């Protein structure tokens, strides 16, 4: 199967999530599903968030009716970044917070050249990145050469293992042609 574009409603999205309509897409191509809204329920804390997009082993879903930010090229690019192996980066979560200015150790292969001005706060740099994990006004589309210091997580035993260190959000962390894993 090659690339596919599906236009589905939320009920179809739910069916997809429980594997009734689509199989796992680890072999080739991309699945891109358009839905009106996406609601993420964090079962551990019962927190509910609206999302602009989601990438999972069965495909990429983007929301066209997300009230805070309608579907944008940035959301599509961000989700395809995940399909290439990149991770979300954040400024803070409940246990970690980025403070202070940019420095070489925080952007080891993107330091210099004057693209980011001296004195820029690291948190403001993070919001300029394509892999910044929130959809909000002013969020950027930069893809750095390599890792950037920030808050990020890996899945460990189906739990988010939060970190405050160099996050794989740059070109050298793209570990595959885009597909869903």
Give the binding site for Zn ion (CB under 5 A).
88
Minimum distance between the CB of residue 177 and Zn ion, rounded to whole angstroms?
A: 19
Minimum distance between the CB of residue 112 and Zn ion, rounded to whole angstroms?
A: 28
Could you tell me how many helices (H) and strands (E) the chain has, helices first?
Answer: 3, 8
Closer residue to Zn ion, CB minimum distance, 53 or 149 = 53
Nearest residue to Zn ion on Cβ basis: 88
Minimum distance between the CB of residue 88 and Zn ion, rounded to whole angstroms?
A: 4
Closer residue to Zn ion, CB minimum distance, 88 or 110 = 88
Minimum distance between the CB of residue 53 and Zn ion, rounded to whole angstroms?
A: 7
Closer residue to Zn ion, CB minimum distance, 123 or 130 = 130
Give how far Cα 159 sits from Cα of 4, 43, 44, 91, 139, Å: 30, 11, 9, 20, 27
Q: Which of 90, 79, 78, 154 is nearest to 125 (CA)?
A: 90
Q: Which residues pair with 7 in a beta bridge?
A: 34
Minimum distance between the CB of residue 51 and Zn ion, rounded to whole angstroms?
A: 9
Closer residue to Zn ion, CB minimum distance, 73 or 113 = 73
In angstroms and rounded to an integer, the radius of gyration of the C-alpha atoms of the chain is 17
Closer residue to Zn ion, CB minimum distance, 51 or 164 = 51
What does the block give as tokens for 84? Answer: 């290439």
Q: What's the full length of the chain, in residues?
A: 181
DSSP 3-state percent helix, strand, coil across the chain (nearest 5): 15, 30, 55
């Amino acid at each position: 199967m090659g690339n596919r574009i599906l236009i589905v409603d939320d009920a179809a999205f739910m069916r997809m999530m429980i594997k009734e309509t689509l199989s796992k897409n680890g072999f080739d191509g991309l699945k891109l599903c358009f839905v009106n809204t996406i609601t993420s329920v964090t079962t551990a804390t019962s927190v509910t968030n609206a999302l602009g997009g989601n990438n999972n082993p069965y495909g990429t879903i983007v929301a066209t009716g997300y009230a805070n930010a309608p579907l944008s090229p940035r959301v599509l690019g961000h989700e395809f970044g995940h399909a290439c192996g990149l991770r979300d980066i954040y400024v803070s979560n409940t246990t970690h917070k980025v403070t202070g200015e940019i420095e070489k150790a925080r952007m080891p292969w993107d330091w210099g050249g004057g693209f980011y001005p001296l004195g820029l706060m690291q948190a403001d740099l993070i919001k300029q990145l394509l892999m910044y994990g929130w959809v909000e006004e002013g969020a950027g589309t930069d893809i750095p050469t390599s890792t950037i210091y920030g808050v990020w997580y890996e899945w460990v035993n189906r739990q988010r293992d939060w970190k405050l260190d160099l996050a794989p959000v740059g070109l050298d962390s793209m570990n595959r042609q885009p597909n869903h894993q």
